[in-house]
Amino acid sequence: MHLLVTILVPVLWILAVGAFVLLVRKLVLPSGPVRLEVNDRLMDATPGSSVLEALGTAGVLIPSGCGGKGTCGYCKVRFRSGDVPVLPTDSAWISGEELAQGYRLACQHRIFGDMAIEVPEKYLSIRRVQATLKAARMLTPDIRELVLHPDESLDFKAGQYVQVEIGDTEEQRAYSIACAEGSQDIILNVRLVPGGLGSTWLHSLPVGKSLFISGPYGDYELPGEHGTQLLLVAGGVGLAPISSLVRTVAATRNDMSVRVFLGFRTLEHAYYLDEFGSLSHPDLEMHVALDSEQREGFYHGFVHEMIKNVYEPPQKQPVSVFLCGPPPMIEAVMDVLSEMGISRSDMFYDKF
Protein backbone atom coordinates (compact mmCIF):
# COMPACT_ATOMS: atom_id res chain seq x y z
CA MET A 1 0.00 0.00 0.00
CA HIS A 2 2.77 2.39 1.03
CA LEU A 3 4.65 1.57 -2.22
CA LEU A 4 1.48 2.21 -4.28
CA VAL A 5 1.00 5.65 -2.68
CA THR A 6 4.70 6.51 -3.21
CA ILE A 7 4.33 5.77 -6.94
CA LEU A 8 0.79 7.12 -7.48
CA VAL A 9 1.16 10.53 -5.83
CA PRO A 10 4.03 11.82 -8.05
CA VAL A 11 2.35 10.35 -11.17
CA LEU A 12 -0.97 12.08 -10.39
CA TRP A 13 0.90 15.28 -9.59
CA ILE A 14 2.72 15.23 -12.97
CA LEU A 15 -0.57 14.52 -14.80
CA ALA A 16 -2.29 17.41 -12.97
CA VAL A 17 0.53 19.85 -13.82
CA GLY A 18 0.48 18.67 -17.47
CA ALA A 19 -3.30 19.18 -17.69
CA PHE A 20 -2.96 22.64 -16.12
CA VAL A 21 -0.26 23.67 -18.63
CA LEU A 22 -2.43 22.44 -21.53
CA LEU A 23 -5.43 24.37 -20.18
CA VAL A 24 -3.42 27.59 -19.78
CA ARG A 25 -2.00 27.21 -23.30
CA LYS A 26 -5.52 26.71 -24.67
CA LEU A 27 -6.78 29.82 -22.86
CA VAL A 28 -3.79 32.03 -23.68
CA LEU A 29 -2.88 31.00 -27.23
CA PRO A 30 -5.03 31.86 -30.25
CA SER A 31 -6.87 28.77 -31.54
CA GLY A 32 -5.88 29.15 -35.22
CA PRO A 33 -2.71 30.19 -37.06
CA VAL A 34 -1.35 33.68 -36.50
CA ARG A 35 0.29 36.04 -38.98
CA LEU A 36 4.06 36.24 -39.15
CA GLU A 37 5.50 39.06 -41.23
CA VAL A 38 9.09 38.36 -42.29
CA ASN A 39 10.70 41.32 -44.07
CA ASP A 40 7.96 42.00 -46.64
CA ARG A 41 6.55 38.45 -46.77
CA LEU A 42 3.44 37.29 -44.93
CA MET A 43 3.21 33.73 -43.62
CA ASP A 44 1.11 31.65 -41.23
CA ALA A 45 2.59 30.40 -37.97
CA THR A 46 1.42 28.04 -35.27
CA PRO A 47 0.99 29.71 -31.87
CA GLY A 48 3.29 28.25 -29.23
CA SER A 49 6.06 27.29 -31.64
CA SER A 50 9.42 29.05 -31.41
CA VAL A 51 10.15 31.76 -33.94
CA LEU A 52 13.00 29.59 -35.25
CA GLU A 53 10.62 26.63 -35.81
CA ALA A 54 7.98 28.88 -37.42
CA LEU A 55 10.54 30.34 -39.82
CA GLY A 56 11.78 26.84 -40.72
CA THR A 57 8.22 25.63 -41.37
CA ALA A 58 7.65 28.64 -43.62
CA GLY A 59 10.84 27.84 -45.56
CA VAL A 60 12.98 30.67 -44.13
CA LEU A 61 16.10 28.76 -43.08
CA ILE A 62 18.11 31.01 -40.80
CA PRO A 63 21.36 29.66 -39.25
CA SER A 64 20.97 27.66 -36.04
CA GLY A 65 24.35 26.10 -35.31
CA CYS A 66 23.29 24.62 -31.94
CA GLY A 67 19.89 23.39 -33.17
CA GLY A 68 17.90 25.82 -30.99
CA LYS A 69 19.60 25.39 -27.61
CA GLY A 70 20.59 29.07 -27.27
CA THR A 71 24.29 28.21 -27.23
CA CYS A 72 25.57 29.45 -30.62
CA GLY A 73 24.00 32.91 -31.02
CA TYR A 74 23.57 32.37 -34.78
CA CYS A 75 19.77 32.71 -34.97
CA LYS A 76 19.67 36.46 -34.27
CA VAL A 77 16.65 38.28 -35.83
CA ARG A 78 15.07 41.70 -35.21
CA PHE A 79 11.56 41.84 -33.77
CA ARG A 80 9.78 44.84 -35.29
CA SER A 81 6.65 44.50 -33.21
CA GLY A 82 5.65 43.36 -29.76
CA ASP A 83 7.33 43.89 -26.45
CA VAL A 84 9.70 40.91 -26.53
CA PRO A 85 11.48 40.37 -23.20
CA VAL A 86 15.28 40.14 -23.06
CA LEU A 87 16.29 36.68 -21.82
CA PRO A 88 19.71 35.86 -20.33
CA THR A 89 20.42 33.76 -23.44
CA ASP A 90 19.75 36.85 -25.62
CA SER A 91 22.13 39.07 -23.67
CA ALA A 92 24.83 36.36 -23.76
CA TRP A 93 25.08 36.77 -27.55
CA ILE A 94 23.62 40.17 -28.47
CA SER A 95 25.11 43.59 -27.64
CA GLY A 96 23.14 46.10 -25.52
CA GLU A 97 22.80 48.36 -28.56
CA GLU A 98 21.27 45.57 -30.68
CA LEU A 99 19.00 44.43 -27.85
CA ALA A 100 17.64 47.99 -27.71
CA GLN A 101 16.97 47.78 -31.47
CA GLY A 102 14.85 44.64 -30.95
CA TYR A 103 17.37 41.90 -31.79
CA ARG A 104 16.74 38.58 -30.04
CA LEU A 105 17.54 34.86 -30.57
CA ALA A 106 14.77 33.32 -32.67
CA CYS A 107 15.09 29.94 -30.95
CA GLN A 108 14.44 31.42 -27.48
CA HIS A 109 11.11 33.18 -28.16
CA ARG A 110 7.69 31.71 -28.83
CA ILE A 111 4.88 33.00 -31.00
CA PHE A 112 1.80 34.09 -29.03
CA GLY A 113 0.12 36.35 -31.63
CA ASP A 114 0.80 38.25 -34.85
CA MET A 115 4.44 39.25 -35.15
CA ALA A 116 6.70 41.19 -37.50
CA ILE A 117 10.37 40.30 -37.70
CA GLU A 118 13.32 41.16 -39.90
CA VAL A 119 15.98 38.69 -41.05
CA PRO A 120 19.05 39.44 -43.23
CA GLU A 121 17.85 39.34 -46.83
CA LYS A 122 20.48 36.69 -47.77
CA TYR A 123 18.72 34.10 -45.57
CA LEU A 124 15.66 34.21 -47.82
CA SER A 125 17.66 32.42 -50.52
CA ILE A 126 18.96 29.60 -48.29
CA ARG A 127 17.78 26.27 -49.62
CA ARG A 128 17.02 22.83 -48.18
CA VAL A 129 18.09 20.03 -50.51
CA GLN A 130 18.25 16.26 -50.46
CA ALA A 131 21.71 14.74 -50.86
CA THR A 132 23.08 11.23 -51.26
CA LEU A 133 26.17 9.99 -49.41
CA LYS A 134 28.30 9.18 -52.46
CA ALA A 135 31.51 8.13 -50.68
CA ALA A 136 33.05 8.11 -47.22
CA ARG A 137 36.43 7.34 -45.65
CA MET A 138 38.13 7.71 -42.27
CA LEU A 139 40.70 10.52 -42.43
CA THR A 140 41.95 9.97 -38.86
CA PRO A 141 40.85 7.57 -36.09
CA ASP A 142 37.91 9.89 -35.27
CA ILE A 143 37.26 12.04 -38.37
CA ARG A 144 35.12 10.73 -41.22
CA GLU A 145 35.06 12.42 -44.60
CA LEU A 146 31.62 12.39 -46.23
CA VAL A 147 31.14 13.19 -49.91
CA LEU A 148 27.54 14.30 -50.40
CA HIS A 149 25.94 14.64 -53.80
CA PRO A 150 23.04 17.13 -53.54
CA ASP A 151 20.05 16.81 -55.89
CA GLU A 152 20.44 20.53 -56.68
CA SER A 153 23.81 22.25 -56.44
CA LEU A 154 24.44 24.65 -53.56
CA ASP A 155 26.30 27.76 -54.63
CA PHE A 156 28.65 28.07 -51.64
CA LYS A 157 31.69 30.22 -50.89
CA ALA A 158 34.90 28.93 -49.28
CA GLY A 159 34.60 29.06 -45.47
CA GLN A 160 30.83 28.48 -45.39
CA TYR A 161 28.92 25.64 -43.72
CA VAL A 162 25.72 23.62 -44.12
CA GLN A 163 23.22 22.39 -41.57
CA VAL A 164 22.55 18.67 -41.64
CA GLU A 165 19.21 17.22 -40.50
CA ILE A 166 19.94 14.31 -38.20
CA GLY A 167 17.90 11.31 -39.37
CA ASP A 168 14.34 11.14 -38.07
CA THR A 169 14.99 13.59 -35.24
CA GLU A 170 14.07 17.29 -35.21
CA GLU A 171 17.76 18.09 -34.66
CA GLN A 172 20.25 19.73 -37.00
CA ARG A 173 23.99 20.16 -36.72
CA ALA A 174 26.34 22.56 -38.52
CA TYR A 175 29.27 21.21 -40.57
CA SER A 176 31.78 23.25 -42.54
CA ILE A 177 32.23 22.60 -46.24
CA ALA A 178 35.74 21.26 -46.88
CA CYS A 179 35.91 21.31 -50.71
CA ALA A 180 36.79 24.14 -53.10
CA GLU A 181 34.22 26.64 -54.34
CA GLY A 182 32.44 25.42 -57.46
CA SER A 183 32.38 21.77 -56.41
CA GLN A 184 29.08 20.03 -57.21
CA ASP A 185 29.62 17.60 -54.33
CA ILE A 186 29.71 18.83 -50.74
CA ILE A 187 32.55 17.37 -48.68
CA LEU A 188 32.31 17.35 -44.87
CA ASN A 189 34.79 16.28 -42.18
CA VAL A 190 32.93 15.02 -39.13
CA ARG A 191 34.72 14.33 -35.85
CA LEU A 192 33.06 11.68 -33.70
CA VAL A 193 31.99 13.20 -30.37
CA PRO A 194 31.49 10.29 -27.93
CA GLY A 195 27.74 10.03 -27.24
CA GLY A 196 27.06 12.88 -29.68
CA LEU A 197 23.78 12.58 -31.58
CA GLY A 198 24.75 14.12 -34.91
CA SER A 199 28.33 12.95 -35.26
CA THR A 200 27.45 9.36 -34.26
CA TRP A 201 24.66 9.28 -36.83
CA LEU A 202 26.90 10.69 -39.56
CA HIS A 203 29.68 8.22 -38.72
CA SER A 204 27.30 5.28 -39.13
CA LEU A 205 25.44 6.53 -42.24
CA PRO A 206 25.96 3.96 -45.03
CA VAL A 207 27.14 5.06 -48.48
CA GLY A 208 24.11 5.34 -50.81
CA LYS A 209 21.76 6.70 -48.11
CA SER A 210 20.24 10.15 -48.43
CA LEU A 211 19.83 13.03 -46.01
CA PHE A 212 18.70 16.66 -46.02
CA ILE A 213 21.01 19.64 -45.79
CA SER A 214 20.37 23.39 -45.86
CA GLY A 215 22.71 26.23 -46.64
CA PRO A 216 25.06 27.70 -47.43
CA TYR A 217 25.61 29.70 -44.22
CA GLY A 218 28.51 31.82 -42.99
CA ASP A 219 29.71 35.37 -43.52
CA TYR A 220 33.41 35.07 -44.33
CA GLU A 221 34.44 36.37 -47.73
CA LEU A 222 37.87 36.15 -49.30
CA PRO A 223 39.32 39.66 -49.44
CA GLY A 224 38.87 41.32 -52.78
CA GLU A 225 41.98 43.48 -52.38
CA HIS A 226 44.78 42.41 -54.69
CA GLY A 227 47.94 41.23 -52.90
CA THR A 228 46.38 40.56 -49.49
CA GLN A 229 48.08 37.91 -47.36
CA LEU A 230 45.71 35.16 -46.21
CA LEU A 231 46.66 33.68 -42.84
CA LEU A 232 44.80 30.42 -42.16
CA VAL A 233 45.00 28.66 -38.81
CA ALA A 234 43.28 25.38 -37.87
CA GLY A 235 43.24 22.95 -34.99
CA GLY A 236 41.96 19.38 -35.44
CA VAL A 237 38.71 19.16 -37.41
CA GLY A 238 38.79 22.98 -37.65
CA LEU A 239 40.75 22.12 -40.80
CA ALA A 240 37.43 21.61 -42.69
CA PRO A 241 36.72 25.26 -43.69
CA ILE A 242 40.46 25.97 -43.98
CA SER A 243 40.66 23.12 -46.50
CA SER A 244 37.99 24.81 -48.61
CA LEU A 245 39.83 28.13 -48.44
CA VAL A 246 43.26 26.64 -49.28
CA ARG A 247 41.91 24.68 -52.24
CA THR A 248 39.89 27.65 -53.54
CA VAL A 249 42.76 30.13 -53.26
CA ALA A 250 45.17 27.66 -54.90
CA ALA A 251 42.78 27.36 -57.85
CA THR A 252 41.72 30.98 -58.22
CA ARG A 253 43.91 33.52 -56.42
CA ASN A 254 47.56 33.58 -57.48
CA ASP A 255 47.69 37.23 -56.38
CA MET A 256 47.49 36.30 -52.67
CA SER A 257 50.22 34.97 -50.44
CA VAL A 258 48.91 32.19 -48.23
CA ARG A 259 50.30 31.12 -44.84
CA VAL A 260 48.74 28.00 -43.34
CA PHE A 261 49.35 26.93 -39.72
CA LEU A 262 47.83 23.64 -38.61
CA GLY A 263 47.81 22.00 -35.18
CA PHE A 264 47.09 18.34 -34.42
CA ARG A 265 47.69 16.05 -31.45
CA THR A 266 49.82 13.49 -33.34
CA LEU A 267 50.59 12.68 -36.97
CA GLU A 268 47.84 10.05 -36.85
CA HIS A 269 45.34 12.88 -36.17
CA ALA A 270 46.61 15.00 -39.10
CA TYR A 271 44.94 14.83 -42.51
CA TYR A 272 44.91 16.39 -46.01
CA LEU A 273 48.66 17.15 -45.69
CA ASP A 274 49.55 15.28 -48.89
CA GLU A 275 46.69 16.89 -50.82
CA PHE A 276 47.76 20.38 -49.72
CA GLY A 277 51.39 19.52 -50.55
CA SER A 278 50.44 18.78 -54.15
CA LEU A 279 48.52 22.05 -54.69
CA SER A 280 50.18 24.45 -57.04
CA HIS A 281 50.33 28.09 -55.91
CA PRO A 282 53.25 30.54 -56.27
CA ASP A 283 53.29 31.69 -52.64
CA LEU A 284 51.77 29.10 -50.30
CA GLU A 285 53.57 28.02 -47.10
CA MET A 286 52.28 25.35 -44.75
CA HIS A 287 53.48 24.70 -41.18
CA VAL A 288 52.25 21.83 -39.03
CA ALA A 289 52.50 21.49 -35.23
CA LEU A 290 52.02 18.27 -33.26
CA ASP A 291 51.51 18.88 -29.56
CA SER A 292 51.63 15.29 -28.26
CA GLU A 293 54.30 13.77 -30.47
CA GLN A 294 57.80 14.68 -31.64
CA ARG A 295 58.36 14.07 -35.38
CA GLU A 296 61.02 15.24 -37.75
CA GLY A 297 59.79 18.05 -39.99
CA PHE A 298 56.98 19.07 -37.63
CA TYR A 299 56.90 21.73 -34.95
CA HIS A 300 56.58 20.18 -31.48
CA GLY A 301 54.05 22.20 -29.46
CA PHE A 302 50.79 24.10 -29.83
CA VAL A 303 49.83 25.96 -32.97
CA HIS A 304 49.87 29.40 -31.24
CA GLU A 305 53.44 28.73 -30.03
CA MET A 306 54.46 27.78 -33.57
CA ILE A 307 52.96 31.00 -34.94
CA LYS A 308 54.80 33.04 -32.31
CA ASN A 309 58.11 31.40 -33.29
CA VAL A 310 57.73 31.05 -37.04
CA TYR A 311 55.35 33.68 -38.45
CA GLU A 312 56.46 37.12 -39.54
CA PRO A 313 53.60 39.42 -40.46
CA PRO A 314 54.23 41.30 -43.72
CA GLN A 315 55.21 44.96 -43.32
CA LYS A 316 53.20 46.43 -46.19
CA GLN A 317 50.60 43.84 -47.28
CA PRO A 318 47.16 43.77 -45.63
CA VAL A 319 46.48 40.50 -43.75
CA SER A 320 43.16 38.64 -43.57
CA VAL A 321 42.99 35.91 -40.92
CA PHE A 322 40.61 32.92 -40.73
CA LEU A 323 40.87 30.74 -37.62
CA CYS A 324 38.99 27.55 -36.89
CA GLY A 325 39.26 25.11 -34.01
CA PRO A 326 38.48 24.72 -30.32
CA PRO A 327 37.80 27.94 -28.34
CA PRO A 328 41.06 27.88 -26.27
CA MET A 329 43.12 27.56 -29.46
CA ILE A 330 41.28 30.48 -31.10
CA GLU A 331 41.80 32.70 -28.03
CA ALA A 332 45.51 31.81 -27.77
CA VAL A 333 46.15 32.45 -31.49
CA MET A 334 44.22 35.75 -31.44
CA ASP A 335 46.32 36.93 -28.48
CA VAL A 336 49.57 36.08 -30.29
CA LEU A 337 48.46 37.79 -33.51
CA SER A 338 47.25 40.89 -31.60
CA GLU A 339 50.68 41.14 -29.95
CA MET A 340 52.16 41.08 -33.48
CA GLY A 341 50.05 44.11 -34.38
CA ILE A 342 47.26 42.41 -36.38
CA SER A 343 43.89 43.98 -35.64
CA ARG A 344 41.13 41.74 -34.23
CA SER A 345 38.81 43.24 -36.85
CA ASP A 346 40.92 41.43 -39.50
CA MET A 347 40.45 38.08 -37.73
CA PHE A 348 37.44 35.93 -38.60
CA TYR A 349 36.85 32.71 -36.67
CA ASP A 350 34.60 29.67 -36.30
CA LYS A 351 34.83 27.98 -32.90
CA PHE A 352 33.84 24.33 -32.58
* Binding-residue total with ligand FES (CB under 6 A): 13
Rounded to a whole number of angstroms, the minimum distance from the CB of residue 184 to ligand FES is: 29
Shortest distance, position 110 Cβ to ligand FAD, whole Å: 23
Among 45, 54, 68, 199, binds ligand FES (CB under 6 A): 68
CB 175 to ligand FAD: min, Å: 4
215 interacts with ligand FAD by CB under 6 A: no
Residue 78 within binding range of ligand FES, rule CB under 6 A: no
Report the residue number, 54 or 174, with the smaller CB distance to ligand FAD. 174
Q: Does 86 bind ligand FES (CB under 6 A)?
A: no
Selected from 47, 48, 70, 301, the binder of ligand FES by CB under 6 A is 70
Which one of the spans 71-79, 269-277, 305-313, 341-349 is the region binding ligand FES (CB under 6 A)? Answer: 71-79
Among 10, 85, 141, 195, binds ligand FAD (CB under 6 A): 195
Residue choice 90, 145, 181, 350 for contact with ligand FAD (CB under 6 A): 350
What mask, x for binding ligand FAD by CB under 6 A, covers residues 121 to 160? ----------------------------------------
- Site for ligand FAD contains 189 (CB under 6 A): yes
Q: What is the 3-state secondary structure (H, E, C) of the chain?
A: CHHHHHHHHHHHHHHHHHHHHHHHHHHHCCCCCEEEEECCEEEEECCCCEHHHHHHHCCCCCCCCCCCCCCCCCCEEEECCCCCCCCHHHHHHCCHHHHHCCEEEHHHCECCCCEEEECCHHHHHCEEEEEEEEEEEECCCCEEEEEEEECCCCCCCCCCEEEEECCCCCCEEEEECCCCCCCCCEEEEEECCCCCHHHHHHHHCCCCCEEEEEEEECCCCCCCCCCCEEEEEEEHHHHHHHHHHHHHHHHHCCCCEEEEEEEECCHHHCCCHHHHHCCCCCCEEEEEEECCCCCCCCEECCHHHHHHHHCCCCCCCCEEEEEEECHHHHHHHHHHHHHCCCCHHHEEEEEC
Of 60-68, 114-122, 142-150, 267-275, the window that binds ligand FES (rule: CB under 6 A) is 60-68
Closest CA to 290 of 305, 310, 309: 305
Question: By C-beta, is 209 or 300 nearer to ligand FAD?
Answer: 209
Which of ligand FAD, ligand FES, none does residue 70 bind to, with CB < 5 to 8 Å depending on kind? ligand FES
Binding site for ligand FAD (CB under 6 A): 65, 72, 161, 173-176, 189-191, 193, 195-200, 237, 240, 350, 352
Binding site for ligand FES (CB under 6 A): 64-66, 68-75, 105, 107
